[in-house]
């Protein structure tokens, strides 16, 4: 492509226009604005009316014989000033019947306004000049499209050759001569390519120019292109492609190339999300089949190796995270969740097989321990990673119950099968319990038993007999007594600890306990009564 084509303004320069045969035959003489010959000519217009500036949009090369310039110096100065204010590229006046030489007022005003002013010493057909310049502009646009299409072709070839997002960004960064970034719609960086001035790290460039100003507009001259998401016509945006003006200002051709690259990236991200979700579901299906006994302990190790899980000779630790209904991701959200959780689990330091089960709203996983003594420490790290992944995936809403993490019994493949099944059921039964980083499945067997009996009428009748009078009291009167009873039983009847946790003085607590005993018609010091009340309080979560 000719260097006279101005990629910054998607037109040709004034200098190039004067070099074309049409204007060159008129013996053009530059009388003002000789230092502005690189201005972009977006279009050509010819006219002879005084108010022609109102018909222009900016960037035009105006051809005239001078009949609209006015006869008085004041009119001529006003004519030039309005053209300069409109932002035209240049004024070309053909000498002849109207002017044998350009008036001094016209020339001086053009020089003061910085407007390129050219006089033609020979008559030229304006229609020929218009056709030539317009043809040059159209050809230049076509050349831009060809360059953008070349980037599109290279990106496509990179994908067909096994490349992905980094390769696409690297091609675009090389073409644009500026670093390129792919970020989320809320400004979180996903990928970066290219370099800053003098080989600077592009991540430092992004942090310096973009990250601290997420709520402010990006630097002037930046190119931001949305990467579409969802199906056709949905209008949703999955990510954003950003070209920052670090080495030089991006040109229109760079925007064209970025728009074509955004279309490719949309396909790559959609495919990656689908493949990632399918893989995560496949691992979840394996873990579920193992838990349900459809895969034997003898066959499980070989199938696990195919899925990339090589735990070694130590015990296996089953873990299940269950998401509440308010947290369950819809559609492709499971892929986002699986990726976020996997990235967080990478720092746990043990082999992990992670899957998802969207139907049950569960994330099962199996970990390889070096020794049984690691169980507690690994469980702490895994639970923290799982919750961090949920938060990173944008699923932890304010006020919503956090996900429940249950750690099963560790052992060999046979124990892992039973442990996964036990942990999965217990994770459901644990919904609504006091929040903890993780629950030991072995300590929730009573809650699991009560959950299994949730639809049996005898359970509801038992709860009603045991604590019904307290529920009726709390519905009508204050202060509520059920929390007092629950705290008292949780502290095994130790009144000092109960009063401290409830922020009550001793006498107030004694009065409440006496009232509870009176309403229930029972002795709170009786072991059988305490056992029945404890079971009823745990069972009330599962009955209407």
Return the higher-pLDDT residue of 126 and 221: 126
Greatest mean pLDDT range, 235-239, 415-419, 453-457, 517-521: 415-419
- How high is the pLDDT of residue 81? 93
Question: What tokens does 54 get?
Answer: 């109102």
466 in the same domain as 438:
no
Task: Provide, rounded to the nearest whole percent, the portion of the chain with pLDDT above 90.
Answer: 37
Its domain, for residue 505, covers 457-542
**Tokens, residue 44:** 């050509």
Tell me, what's the pLDDT at 203? 64
Q: Do 50 and 169 fall within a single domain? A: no
The confidence score (pLDDT) of residue 359 equals: 78
Per-residue pLDDT band at 3 (split at 50, 70, 90) = very low
- β-sheet bridge partners, residue 223: 243
The pLDDT confidence band at residue 2, using thresholds 50, 70 and 90, is: very low
Q: Are residues 434 and 487 in the same domain?
A: no
Q: Which residue has the tokens 């229609």?
A: 127
- Least trusted range by pLDDT, from 43-52, 146-155, 327-336: 327-336
> Residue 328 pLDDT > 70, yes or no?
no
398's CB contacts (< 8 A; 6+ apart) are none
Cβ contact 84:36 at 8 Å: no
CATH of the domain at 390: 3.30.70
**Together in a domain, 317 and 374:** yes
Classify residue 451: in a domain, yes or no. Answer: no
Interval 485-490 mean pLDDT:
90
Buried b (16+ CB within 10 A) or exposed e, 281-293: bebbbbbbebbee
**How much is the pLDDT for 255?**
85
Whether residue 276 is contained in a domain is answered as no
CATH code where residue 119 lies: 3.40.1390.20
- Strand runs (DSSP E) across 73-150, as ranges? 90-94, 117-120
Indicate if 118 and 14 belong to the same structural domain: yes
Does the global pTM surpass 0.85?
no
**Structure-block tokens of residue 417:** 């099968």
Torsion of CA 321, 326, 331, 337, to 10 degrees: -40
Verify that 230 and 101 share a domain, yes or no.
no
Boundary (domain end) residue, out of 121, 136, 151: 136
| Range 197-213 average pLDDT | 61
Structure tokens at 544: 């209407």
Section 130-156 average pLDDT? 82
What CATH number does residue 532 fall under? Answer: 1.10.10.2840
Whole-angstrom CA distances from 364 to 127, 128, 133, 285, 437 are 75, 75, 67, 9, 16
The DSSP line for 202-224 is: HHHHHHHHTGGGTTSPPPTT-EE
If phi > 0 it is left, if psi is from -120 to 50 it is alpha, else beta; for residue 196 that is beta
- Name, in order, each residue with C-beta under 8 angstroms of 84's C-beta and a sequence gap of 6 or more: 110, 113, 114, 115
pLDDT above 50 for 263: yes
Give tens-digit pLDDT for 420-445: 999 999 998 888 787 889 999 999 88
Query: Domain for residue 205, yes or no?
Result: yes
Q: Strands, E, within 68-176: which ranges? A: 90-94, 117-120
pLDDT of the residue at 234: 46
* Mean pLDDT over each residue of the chain, to the nearest integer: 85
The candidate with the shortest Cα–Cα distance to 246, out of 283, 207, 277, 209, is 209
Region of 52 on the Ramachandran plot (φ > 0 left; ψ -120 to 50 alpha; else beta)? alpha
Q: What is the CA radius of gyration of the chain?
A: 38
Backbone angles phi, psi at 26, to 5 degrees: -90, 5
Instruction: Answer yes or no: is pLDDT of 232 > 50.
Output: no
Among 173-187, 214-228, 313-327, the least confident range: 214-228
Of 36, 33, 62, 32, the closest CA to residue 50 belongs to 62
Q: Report pLDDT for 209.
A: 61
The closest alpha carbon to 433, from 449, 447, 419, belongs to 447
pLDDT at 85 over 80: yes
SS3 368: strand
325 & 252 share domain:
no
At 500 the pLDDT is 92
Q: Using CA atoms in the order 122, 123, 125, 130, what is the torsion angle rounded to 10 degrees?
A: 50
Whether residue 471 sits in one domain with residue 422: no
What is the reported pLDDT for 396?
A: 64
Alpha helices in 292-309 (DSSP H): 300-306
Flag whether 175 is in a domain. Answer: yes
pLDDT on residue 214: 53
Taking the CB of residue 440, how many other CB atoms lie within 10 A of it?
16
Residue 393 has pLDDT above 90, yes or no: no
pLDDT above 70: percentage of residues in the chain: 88
- Residue 532 placed within a domain: yes
pLDDT > 60? residue 213: no
pLDDT at 5 over 50: no
Selection from 389, 306, 393 nearest residue 353 by Cα: 306
Question: Is residue 148 in a domain?
Answer: no
The total of structural domains in the chain comes to 4
Between 6 and 262, residue with greater pLDDT: 262
461 shares a domain with 432:
no
Output the CA torsion 266→269→270→272 (10° steps).
160
Euclidean distance between CA atoms 165 and 105, whole angstroms: 59
Residues 249 and 308 in one domain: no
Q: Contact, 95 vs 119, CB < 8 A?
A: yes
Separation CA 156–CA 260 (nearest Å): 10
- Whether 409 maps to a domain, the answer reads yes
Alpha-carbon distance of 79 to 88, in angstroms, equals: 12
Q: Looking at the structure, do residues 376 and 417 belong to the same domain, yes or no?
A: yes
Indicate whether 346 and 223 sit together in one domain. Answer: no
Residue whose C-alpha is closest to residue 6's, from 236, 106, 14, 532: 14
d(CA 529, CA 485): 12
Q: If you average pLDDT over residues 217-227, what whole number do you get?
A: 78
Kindly tell me if the per-residue pLDDT of 119 is higher than 80.
yes
How far apart are the C-alpha atoms of 241 and 215, rounded to whole Å? 17
CATH number of the domain encompassing residue 241:
3.30.450.40
Length of the chain: 544
Asked whether residue 150 is assigned to any structural domain, the reply reads: no
Are the C-beta atoms of 46 and 103 separated by less than 8 Å? Answer: no
pLDDT attached to residue 216? 58
Residue 4: which pLDDT band, with cuts at 50, 70 and 90? Answer: very low
CA atoms of 101 and 367, how far apart (whole Å): 90
Among 391, 418, 442, where does a domain finish?
Answer: 442
**Pick from 4-13, 65-74, 366-375: least confident:** 4-13
Give yes or no for residue 315 having a pLDDT over 60: yes
């Amino acid at each position: 492509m000719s260097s006279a084509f101005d990629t910054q303004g998607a037109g040709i320069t004034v200098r190039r226009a004067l070099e074309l045969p049409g204007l060159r035959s008129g013996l053009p003489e530059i009388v003002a604005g000789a230092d502005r010959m690189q201005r972009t000519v977006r279009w050509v217009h010819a006219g002879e009316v005084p108010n022609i500036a109102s018909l222009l949009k900016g960037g035009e090369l105006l051809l005239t014989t001078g009949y609209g310039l006015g006869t008085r110096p004041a009119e001529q100065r006003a004519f030039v000033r309005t053209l300069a204010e409109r932002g035209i590229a240049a004024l070309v006046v053909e000498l002849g019947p109207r002017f044998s030489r350009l008036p001094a007022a016209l020339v001086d005003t053009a020089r003061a306004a910085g407007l390129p002013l050219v006089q033609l010493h020979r008559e030229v057909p304006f229609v020929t000049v218009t056709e030539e310049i317009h043809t040059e502009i159209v050809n230049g646009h076509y050349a831009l499209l060809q360059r953008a299409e070349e980037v599109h072709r290279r990106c496509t070839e990179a994908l067909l050759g096994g490349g992905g997002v980094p390769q696409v960004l690297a091609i675009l960064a090389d073409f644009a001569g500026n670093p390129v970034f792919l970020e989320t719609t809320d400004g979180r960086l996903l990928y970066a390519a290219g370099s800053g001035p003098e080989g600077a790290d592009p991540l430092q460039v992004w942090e310096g120019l973009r990250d601290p100003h997420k709520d402010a507009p990006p630097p002037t001259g930046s190119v931001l292109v949305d990467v579409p998401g969802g199906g056709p016509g949905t209008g949703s945006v999955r990510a954003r492609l950003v070209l920052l003006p670090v080495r030089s200002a991006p040109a229109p051709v760079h925007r064209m190339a970025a728009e074509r690259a955004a279309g490719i990236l949309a396909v790559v991200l959609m495919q990656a999300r689908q493949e990632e979700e399918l893989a995560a579901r496949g691992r979840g299906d394996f873990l579920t089949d193992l838990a349900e006994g459809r895969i034997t302990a003898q066959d499980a190790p070989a199938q696990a190796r195919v899925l990339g899980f090589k735990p070694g000779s130590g015990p296996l630790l089953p873990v299940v995270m269950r998401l509440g209904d308010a947290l369950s991701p819809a559609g492709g959200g499971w892929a986002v969740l699986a990726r976020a959780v996997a990235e967080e689990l990478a720092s746990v330091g043990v082999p992990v097989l992670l899957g998802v089960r969207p139907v049950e709203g569960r994330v099962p996983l199996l970990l390889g321990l070096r020794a049984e003594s690691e169980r507690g420490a690994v469980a702490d790290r895994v639970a923290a990673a799982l919750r961090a992944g949920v938060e990173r995936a944008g699923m932890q809403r304010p006020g919503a119950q956090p996900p429940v993490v249950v750690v099963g019994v560790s052992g060999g493949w046979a124990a892992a099968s039973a442990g996964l099944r036990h942990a999965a059921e217990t994770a459901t039964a644990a919904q609504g319990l006091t929040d903890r980083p993780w629950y030991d499945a072995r300590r929730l067997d009573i809650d699991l038993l009560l959950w299994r009996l949730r639809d049996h009428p005898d359970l509801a009748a038992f709860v009603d007999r045991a604590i019904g009078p307290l529920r009726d009291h709390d519905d009508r009167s204050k202060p509520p007594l059920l929390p007092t009873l629950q705290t008292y039983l949780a502290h095994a009847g130790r009144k000092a600890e109960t009063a401290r946790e409830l922020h009550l003085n001793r006498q107030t607590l004694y009065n409440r306990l006496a009232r509870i005993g009176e309403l229930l018609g029972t002795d709170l010091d009786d072991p059988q009564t305490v056992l029945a009340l404890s079971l009823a309080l745990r069972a009330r979560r599962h009955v209407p």
